[in-house]
Structure 1
Amino acid sequence: MKAVVTDLHKGHDPKRFVLRGKFAKGEERPERAERLMAGLRAGNHPMVPAETFGQGPRLGVHAVDYLRFLEEAAEEWKTLADASDEVLGNVHPVRRQGTMPASLTGRAGWYMQDMACGIGPDTWKAAASATDVAVTAAELVIEGERAAYALCRPPGHHAYRDMAGGHCFLNNTAIAAHYLRSVHDRVAVLDIDIHHGNGTQAIFYDRPDVLTVSVHADPSRFYPFYWGYAHERGEGAGEGFNLNLPIPVGAGDDAYAAAVEASVATINAFAPGILVVALGLDASADDPFGGAKVTEHGFRRAGEAIARMGLPTLFVQEGGYLSDRLGPNLTAVLGGFEAAA
């Protein structure tokens, strides 16, 4: 399986986010990509440089004003008196009868759902390059590859049409899925990150052409808390085309693999032309966020279950944070897929 990569992610190096009321060191660091690349090398995956696609694919998913904010915010932030080195909103409106203000502090809160998505000087360049990675990998599958992997950093599945959150700015998975609609009538998204992909769900919630399925820790006690419940099934024309399969916080291999396997019937019934896997590796027992206790064996089982669907498949990297097992877990899931394909 070919893997698409870029070095442009390195400029995004967030220094802080708020965790349980305290500033903590960011977990979404450049070292993540280095460890993932080690996992690719261990699996003998050829690495392909990303091509540049411009704003077109991003505009298929994201609002123009939001893209402009992401591109310009860091430079404008420097003009504020006594501002930090990263854009972080400290006022977050619920948007009920709200109006976006002229103040950059106010706009930062408007466009950020939480305080885990600080924007630095090169965040836009990194986030934009991640979308190019995803679309380049999508093109590989369009051109006939059985599967491809996109090493996207920063991740994307918490990003809404016009809102960042959870280390995510541009929704790489959603951008790839929408892009693939140009050649497939139906596209399925399977998100196996331990955090629910609330942004991806929201982007496609009223659409019947993109099925969204998510396996994640029970949000009643885990980020993103407010979305990811089993009763969320889509709305309007999209009703019935969203499936959430929450598992208990701290679940191990069997529960995780069983939930991935449970998604197969729904995806097969939808009969998509292609499957996009939002590949989070933060279900790992060694991940610093502690949402689950999945081992390499569990990730391999997940890869095998995905392969048995027999669909052209695009893997888009989502979460999975710094631990010694990050690279081996990637090797395991892609190796399981290739062995069963």
Structure 2
Amino acid sequence: MQTVFHDAQRAHDPKNFLTSGVRKPNPEQPARIDALMGAVTRLGHEVVTPADHGLGPVAAIHTAEYISFLRRIHGMWSAIDGASEEVVPNIHPGRQEASYPASAVGLAGYHMADTACPISADTFGSAYWSAQTALTGADLVLGGARHAYALSRPPGHHAFSDLAGGFCFFNNSAIAAQAALAAGRRPAILDVDLHHGNGTQGIFYARGDVLTVSIHADPAGFYPFFWGHAQERGTGAGLGANLNLPLPRGTSDDGFVAGLEPGLQRVTDFGADFLVVALGLDPFEGDPLAGLGVTTPGFARIAEAIAGLGLPTLIVQEGGYLCPELGANLESFLGGFEAAHR
């Protein structure tokens, strides 16, 4: 398996986020890369530098207005007397019929869903290369590779078409799936992160040409709260092309693998011929954002179940935060996938 990564993805270095009203160190740190690259090295992967596809494939998913916001907001914010070093919103409009703001504070509230996605001077560049990493991974698979791993960081699955959130800015998995669609494939996105892929769902919710499946901790009492419930099936042309599989808090290996089965069947029934796995390693029992109870060997079991689909597969990194087992969890998943997907 080849791994795609660009060193510019290290530059985004968020310092804080707000959780339950408390400011804490942001867990989406550049050091995640070192742990994940350690796994890649142990597996003997060739590491490929991504090609620059430009903004066109990104703009196929994200609005030009939002891309412009990400590019310029830190400069605007820094011009505010006494502003924080990072862009963090303090107001969020009810966006129905909301006018588009001109001020930095208003723009931040309009385009940022929460306080977990602070923007610095380096955020746009890292997010840009994270998306290019996913696009190059898609190129590898479209070009005949059976599978590839995109070490995309910052992650992407909480980003909507014009809204950052949950450590995410550009939706890398959605961008890769759209590229596969443009190449004539019928793509499905299977999200196995701890948290529901709400941005991915939102992007494709009214579309029937990309299947979105997410297995995650039940959002009734867990981020992202407002999305990810089982009754959300899509709308319009997308009705039936979205499947959510919420799990009780603490679900471990057996329950996760069993809960995944309807999602795998839906991918088959959709007739997908290109699979994007939005890989979160945060279902791990020891992850700092603890919500599920998957073990290190459990990631290999999950990977083997997905590999059983037999589809050309791009694995895009989503969550999974710093803990001693982070690299071992990736090694377990990728090693299990490679062993079963020959």
Instruction: Bin the TM-score by the shorter chain.
Output: over 0.9
Shift of 1:43: 1.6
For the 8 Å contact 1:221–1:249, the answer to whether it is kept is: no
Residue in structure 1 matched with residue 86 of structure 2 by the alignment: 86
Residue in structure 2 matched with residue 188 of structure 1 by the alignment: 188
Q: Distance in 2 between matches of 1:103 and 1:61?
A: 25
User: Larger deviation: 112-121 or 96-105?
Assistant: 96-105
Measured on the aligned residues, the alpha-carbon RMSD in Å equals: 0.8
Shift of 1:77: 1.2
Residue in structure 2 matched with residue 31 of structure 1 by the alignment: 31
Q: Distance in 2 between matches of 1:94 and 1:43?
A: 47
SS of 1:86's equivalent? Answer: coil
Write out aligned runs for 1:291-330 (5 A). Answer: 291-330=291-330
Residue in structure 2 matched with residue 286 of structure 1 by the alignment: 286
Structure 1 length as normaliser, TM-score? 0.99
Residues 178-212 of structure 1: per-residue CA shift (max 9 Å, x gap): 01102234210000001000000010011111000
Q: Distance in 2 between matches of 1:221 and 1:297?
A: 27
Residues 288-334 of structure 1: per-residue CA shift (max 9 Å, x gap): 01111111111101100111100000000000000111111111111
Q: Distance in 2 between matches of 1:221 and 1:254?
A: 22
User: Larger deviation: 36-45 or 149-158?
Assistant: 36-45
- Find runs of 4+ consecutive structure 1 residues off by over 3 angstroms: none
Q: Distance in 1 between matches of 2:71 and 2:263?
A: 37
The one-letter amino acid of 1:4's match is V
Residue in structure 1 matched with residue 21 of structure 2 by the alignment: 21
Shift of 1:136: 0.5
For the 8 Å contact 2:288–2:322, the answer to whether it is kept is: yes
The one-letter amino acid of 1:142's match is L
Residue in structure 2 matched with residue 4 of structure 1 by the alignment: 4
Write out aligned runs for 1:8-157 (5 A). Answer: 8-157=8-157
Q: Distance in 1 between matches of 2:163 and 2:236?
A: 22
For the 8 Å contact 2:206–2:235, the answer to whether it is kept is: yes
Residue in structure 2 matched with residue 203 of structure 1 by the alignment: 203
SS of 2:306's equivalent? Answer: helix
Uncovered stretches (5+) of structure 2, i.e. residues with no partner: none
For the 8 Å contact 1:11–1:122, the answer to whether it is kept is: yes
The one-letter amino acid of 2:113's match is Q
Residue in structure 2 matched with residue 275 of structure 1 by the alignment: 275
| Residue correspondences, number | 341
For the 8 Å contact 2:190–2:276, the answer to whether it is kept is: yes
SS of 2:244's equivalent? Answer: strand
Shift of 1:137: 0.4
Identity of matched residues, %: 50
Structure 2 length as normaliser, TM-score? 0.98
Q: Distance in 2 between matches of 1:261 and 1:183?
A: 28
Q: Distance in 2 between matches of 1:53 and 1:265?
A: 33
SS of 2:176's equivalent? Answer: helix
The one-letter amino acid of 1:266's match is R
For the 8 Å contact 2:159–2:170, the answer to whether it is kept is: yes
SS of 2:182's equivalent? Answer: coil
Q: Distance in 2 between matches of 1:296 and 1:22?
A: 30
Q: Distance in 1 between matches of 2:48 and 2:333?
A: 19
For the 8 Å contact 2:185–2:274, the answer to whether it is kept is: no
Answering whether residue 223 of structure 2 is matched by residue 229 of structure 1, we say no
The one-letter amino acid of 1:340's match is A
Q: Distance in 1 between matches of 2:293 and 2:184?
A: 36
Residues 270-290 of structure 1: per-residue CA shift (max 9 Å, x gap): 111100000000001110011
